Chain A
Amino acid sequence: MGLSKHIRSFVDARFDTETAEHFINKQVHKRLPPHTGWLHVFGSLSLLLYLSQTITGILLLIYYRPTPEAAHKSIQYITAEVNFGWLYRQVHAWGATLMILAVVLHMTRTYFFGAYKKPRELTWVTGVIIFIVTITFGFTGYLLPWNQIAFWATTVGTESANQIPVIGEWLRYFLRGGDAVTGETLSRFFVVHVIILPWILTGLIAVHLFLMRATNLATLEKVGEEKPLQPDQGIPFFPVHVAKEGVVAVLLLAGLVTLSVVAPWEIGEPANPLATPAHIKPEWYFLPSYQLLKYFEGPHGAFIGILACSLPFALLLFWPFMDRGKHRHPKKRPVAVGVGLVAVLAALFLGVLGHLSETDRTVFGRTYHFDLLGRPHQVTPSSDLSQRKHAE
């Protein structure tokens, strides 16, 4: 190929390509710690989903209209009329859920492998901020289709800001752009979702990746006893780990398309500010907080509830500075591993309770009603009838 040679010599004559090439080679042929395996792919999975969300988000922006009158119709138009519009909408909606899942799994992996310890505390801290930004992406994007469930979930979500003493009312007014959720809220959420958060996330990811490369991946050795990997030690980033990432990328694309076809997201009814639908629930990643809030009653209950929901995030943020133990290997950190397991199980438990609450489920032929707090009550056919009568 003559052309590529020409381009090469053109660039060579003007820039110091050797340094750049050396740098890239060093990155590509870096050695990863010997325990690097499939559990280490969640970071690149999150990165792929970030790229996918950016591309599908920009495509959606071409036809989406951020006003109360037009938003819902524009999503219907994207789904029904635009070529492959349904696919990009579905991949964006499913990508949102999978991105949060990928970030959570990535955090869980680094937690249990003690990778947040010195000198990687800041990599962890930027990771926690990325997690919070990702959730905020989900919260702001959810409102954009302007359907009933999103409108009311956003009403309830922004209302909880009101429970914070002193600044609560101010904050709610600010978030909503007024007293209630209106077109002003939609505009605000839209700008945050498509401009502000994408740039913040891009910057955070850049810093996160830079820190990751600057300190290398953590081994399982104790803090301060890590030895740099020699060129014949550990696992080559290229091709061994890159191959795993390739497999994950293909599976992700297959998964996104399959989910989009098999379990498409509904558009739902357009928002009606004068009718609250029964049983509004937030997305699954808010269910643990949603459920936890219910257990706090009384005059200051809601505020204490909000504190209880923020505490896990504060703990995550400062964890590397609280856990000063030198060991990284999970077997040598029973307390940290125990705390992590309890936290994961508690979140799962609360999430499941939140999911079940206020529904009827039939298990082995028996029907149970799960109340507000998620407690099951068996419904016998007769008590069912009398309860119905009572409610009417």
Chain B
Amino acid sequence: MNKRMNAMEKQPTRRGFLDWLIGLCSVVTGAALTVPGLLYLWPAARGGASEDVEVPNASGLAPGQSAILQVRGKAVIVVREQTGFTAISAVCTHLGCLVKWDGSRKEFLCPCHAAVFDKNGAVVSGPAPAPLPTYRVKEVDGKVYVSVA
């Protein structure tokens, strides 16, 4: 083995070249088989362009009350305020539990590690590293729609 390698280093041989070619072909074939397999594992995106989702029974909410719903797979809290509606992501930016709206304190509380956010989603206390993102709300003919980008 060693002797042959030494000989190969000295001068290219037909045998050495063939070994090299077989190695190259194996790597290329291996890559050609692996890459589609890896891409297959990548989750395919779901859903098309952003669309408005109606909040069911929004008119039934009294000021200070909230409802939770799923908009294109994302949990969203809609809060009825004196002046109108706001929509905010319910997914705690710490580790993904769903926050709850506390109407009397006007804050969002996370049940998992006690993060607290104010009514605009800014962090008040606790371990959350970032504010809760807010979403666009529309009122049309007494119906309330949320859209998440």
> Which single member of A180, A275, A276, A278 contacts B74 (CB below 8 Å)?
A180
Of the listed stretches A133-141, A155-163, A262-270, A323-331, chain B binds A155-163
> Which single member of A155, A173, A278, A280 contacts B43 (CB below 8 Å)?
A173
Q: Are A297 and B127 in contact (CB under 8 A)?
A: yes
Please report the C-alpha to C-alpha distance between residue A182 and residue B98 in the assembled complex, in whole angstroms: 15
**Residues of B close to A152: CB separation below 8 A:** 97, 112
Q: Are B70 and A273 in contact (CB under 8 A)?
A: yes
**Residues of B close to A180: CB separation below 8 A:** 73-75, 91
Is B7's beta carbon under 8 Å from chain A? Answer: no
Number of A-B contacts (CB under 8 A): 61
**Residues of A close to B42: CB separation below 8 A:** 174
Residue of A nearest to B104 (CB): A392
Please report the C-alpha to C-alpha distance between residue A180 and residue B74 in the assembled complex, in whole angstroms: 7
Is A177's beta carbon under 8 Å from chain B? Answer: yes
Is B95's beta carbon under 8 Å from chain A? Answer: yes
Q: Are A274 and B73 in contact (CB under 8 A)?
A: no
**Residues of B close to A156: CB separation below 8 A:** 95-97, 112
**Residues of A close to B136: CB separation below 8 A:** none
Q: Are B129 and A302 in contact (CB under 8 A)?
A: yes
> Which single member of A178, A182, A273, A294 contacts B113 (CB below 8 Å)?
A294
Is A184's beta carbon under 8 Å from chain B? Answer: yes
Is A277's beta carbon under 8 Å from chain B? Answer: yes
Taking A182-B73, A278-B111 as given, write out 8 further A-B residue pairs in contact, using a Cβ cutoff of 8 Å, ordered by the A residue number: A155-B96, A174-B41, A174-B43, A177-B43, A273-B75, A294-B113, A299-B129, A301-B127
Contacts A/B (CB < 8 Å), 18 sampled = A152-B97, A155-B95, A160-B95, A173-B43, A174-B43, A178-B73, A180-B73, A184-B43, A274-B69, A274-B70, A274-B75, A275-B68, A278-B111, A297-B127, A301-B129, A302-B94, A302-B127, A302-B129
